[in-house]
Structure 1
Amino acid sequence: MKMRTKIVFMLLALMVVLVSGCMEQKKEIVIDKPGNISSYEFEIFQNESSNQTLANTTTYYLLENDTKVQVVYILVNTSKLEIYPPDILSGSSEENPIQNFVQLVGPANETAANTKTFEELSSRNETSAINYTLTQEVTQGMKVINLEFKEPVTGFIAYTLDNSGEQSFTFVKPDSEFIRVVLPEGYVTGNRVFGIARPEPLSVTYDEKERQTLLWISSKMGDREETIQVKYYTQSAPLLFSAAIIALLCGVGFVLLHYVKSKRELEAVRGILDLEKEYEKKQQKKK
């Protein structure tokens, strides 16, 4: 009987440990002041189909300094967003993971999801006065930020996240139909030596600023493709690398030529010395 009691207590203790490990650590994120609207690009991205419909879209603008990434959402009749900061994959725990928060939205039942509406929203000088809550949860070591509105909204949401500071960006696939990554000016991806995007994007285009833009469509991605990684590099990197390789090969060739030439000269000198020795031997025999 005592043994059974011990086993029951051990099982209960194990369950407490497991449950406490799985419990969500939840805290509220407070935004002290509205973000700077002018610091973002509110591009109206449309489906390339014939009806040119607007759909939930997430665009990541990678900045040249590599330490920040700007995220702009197109929301259509949405009441909740789950935001996964890039640092969740490295285990970082920033106190204020979301910065420069901007909302340009209206109630979904009063806001038509068309180009004209979004153009009007993108031209506003003040953020929308719609109540929202931002909370951060940590579940099994993974951090997620929940943005919730009291009612569904349509419009733009923008914010800034910290990045790794390297020419690599990894993020969990957001709950959007269209996912876009805009690289900094002068940077590209796609070379297997210098860096590629995984999974492979559906399309790679250039915008009016000649920035390379990658596009994924959630409905066309596999169930296992939950994480997207983009490694990028300066556009001149392959050319400079090729020039460095050519210079190195030329240097190696020069060293080899110099070695062959020196070897021949040494062999010639040795031949002369051998002839002199033979001549001296012959002269000694004559004596």
Structure 2
Amino acid sequence: MKMNTKNMFILLALMVIFISGCVDQKKEITIDEPGNISSYEFDVFLEEWDNNTPVNTTTYYILENKVEVQAVHLVINSSKLEIFPPDSLGGGSEKEPIKNFVLLVEPANETVAGPETFSRLANSINVTYLNYTLTQDVSRGMKVVNLEFEENVTGFIAYTLDAPGTQSFTFMKPDSEFIRVILPEGYVTGNRVFGIARPAPSSTGFDEKGRHTLLWVYSEMGEREEAIQVKYYTESAPMYFFAAIVALLFGVVMVLMRYSRSRKELESVREIFELEKEYEKKGQRKKK
């Protein structure tokens, strides 16, 4: 009986330690002032196969400096949003997981989630003031920022993330039906030598600004495909690489030709030298 009591106390102590550890990991994030609306693109993305009706969409805009990524969520009738900062996957800033936070949302029960509503919100010059909480926690062994509203909302949620500064961007698959990545102008992906997107996107194309766009459809992705990685490169990279290969091959050919010419010259010299030796030998025989 004493042994069972002892084991129970040990179990309770372990539970207290575990719970206190979880509590310590969770912390609230305070946003001092709203972000700059004009720094974002609020695209009312409508897919043709969905009858031109807005659906939950997450778009990542990789900036030209490659050290920041802008995320814009088009949300419909939702009260929660999970944000996985890049430091969850080995990069980013722990002190400031998100920045330039912008809300352009309205209560879902007072809003019709149609193209007109999103177009109006996209052209708004004032941010929305609704009660929400931002907390940083650990989920599935990774840091996650939880955004929660007191009621369901519809509209745009935008923020900026730090990026590793390389030509590779990895992020956790968001809970959106459509997931888009917009590469910086002048950059593309899809060449296995220089970089591809994994898993393969459902479709790719270019927007009106000439930027390479990639689209994933959540329902078409497998359950194991939890993360998406995009490795990209400049459009001119394959051309320069091909030119470098041609120049290298040309250099190799020139070296081989010079080596072949030098070898022939050496062979000619050796033949002349051998002929002179034979003449000398013949001359010595005649003297004898």
Name the structure 2 match of 1:222. Answer: 222
Cα 1:167–1:14 change in 2 (3 A) is farther
1:8 is displaced (CA, Å) by: 3.4
The aligned residue for residue 70 of structure 2 is 70
The residue type equivalent to 1:278 in the other structure is E
**5+ long unaligned stretches in structure 1:** none
Kept after mapping to 2: 8 A contact 1:172/1:228: yes
What does residue 57 of structure 2 align with?
Answer: 57
- Give the aligned partner of residue 168 of structure 1: 168
Structure 2: tracts of 5 or more residues without a match = none
Query: Are 2:31 and 1:40 aligned?
Result: no
Q: Could you tell me which residue of structure 2 aligns to residue 239 of structure 1?
A: 239
Contact 1:101/1:160, CA 8 A, preserved across alignment: yes
| Alpha carbons of structure 1 residues 21 and 202: separation in structure 2 relative to 1, 3 Å | farther
TM-score, with normalisation over the residues of structure 2?
0.93
Alignment check: 8 A CA contact 1:56 1:176 kept: yes
How far the C-alpha of 1:23 sits from its partner, in A, is 2.4
AA aligned to 1:23 is C
1:197-208 correspondence to structure 2 within 5 Å: 197-208=197-208
Cα offset for 1:47?
A: 2.6
Letter in 1 for 2:124: R
Superposed CA RMSD in Å reads: 2.3
Matched position secondary structure for 1:119: helix
Corresponding position of 1:19: 18
For 1:1-287, what aligned pairs fall within 5 Å after superposition? 8=7, 12=11, 15-16=14-15, 19=18, 23=22, 25-49=25-49, 51-90=51-90, 94-139=94-139, 141-287=141-287
More displaced 10-residue stretch of structure 1: 177-186 or 41-50:
41-50
**Could you tell me how far apart the structure 2 residues matched to 1:17 and 1:280 are?**
105
8 Å contact kept, 2:92–2:163: no
1:210 & 1:182 partners in 2: Cα distance? 10
Return 89-98 or 125-134, whichever deviates more.
89-98
2:242 is aligned with what amino acid? S
1:10 Cα offset (Å): 10
2:196 touches 2:231 (CA, 8 Å); kept in 1?
A: yes
Percent of residue pairs bearing the same amino acid type: 63
1:71-118, Cα deviation, whole Å (9 max, x unpaired): 001010110100011221117661111000000111101111111111
Please say if residues 22 and 139 of structure 1, whose CA atoms lie closer than 8 Å, have aligned partners that are also in contact: no
